[in-house]
């Protein structure tokens, strides 16, 4: 199981703004530390599930030094960060996402299958990936 470093920026209005340097799409906030932790786990799970649905490779988790350097750049911009409080760097566990292929049997008319195969070829995808993306709206 992978773990990603979250950066908990203390917000000047209270609570925390949370970002993941290695998963930039995962952004959230919480009114207090407990809520921010829960929201961080949810945000990471949602984004990694999106990666899995799109067939994208998960980002490689980086180290603490890289996260701290990233946070320093971000905090230099201000953005409502309470500089009197410490930035926190908890590890957040990535959820288990089962990506094991499963063989299924479906039936199409020959004409429909030919049309599906042609569209998959034009999209540069194998038939199964094309059908999965079409069904999931990806």
Decide: 19 and 7 in contact? Cβ < 8 Å: yes
Whole-model pTM? 0.70
* Domain range summary for the chain, segments of one domain joined by +: 3-93, 101-138
Q: Which CATH class is domain 101-138?
A: mainly alpha
What pLDDT is stored for residue 136 in this prediction? 73
Q: CB atoms < 10 A from the CB of 118, how many?
A: 10
What pLDDT is stored for residue 107 in this prediction? 95
What pLDDT is stored for residue 7 in this prediction? 96
CATH architecture classification, 3-93: 2-Layer Sandwich (3.30)
Q: Can you list the residues of the chain whose pLDDT is less than 50?
A: none
Q: How far apart are CA 93 and CA 45, in angstroms?
A: 9
What pLDDT is stored for residue 75 in this prediction? 84
Which segments within the chain are labelled E, that is strand? 3-5, 7-10, 16-19, 27-30, 91-93
What pLDDT is stored for residue 12 in this prediction? 87
What pLDDT is stored for residue 18 in this prediction? 97
């Amino acid at each position: 199981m992978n773990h990603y470093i979250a950066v908990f920026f203390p917000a000047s209005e209270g609570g925390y703004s949370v970002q993941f340097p290695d998963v930039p799409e995962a952004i959230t906030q919480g009114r207090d530390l407990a809520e921010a932790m829960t929201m961080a786990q949810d945000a990471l799970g949602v984004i990694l599930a999106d990666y899995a649905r799109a067939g994208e490779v998960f980002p490689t988790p980086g180290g603490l030094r890289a996260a701290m350097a990233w946070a320093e750049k971000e905090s230099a911009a201000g953005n409502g960060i309470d500089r009197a409080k410490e930035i926190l760097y908890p590890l957040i566990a990535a959820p288990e996402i089962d990506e094991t292929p499963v063989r299924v049997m479906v039936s199409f008319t020959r004409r429909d299958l030919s049309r599906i195969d042609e569209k998959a070829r034009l999209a540069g995808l194998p038939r199964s990936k094309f059908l999965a993306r079409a069904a999931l709206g990806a």
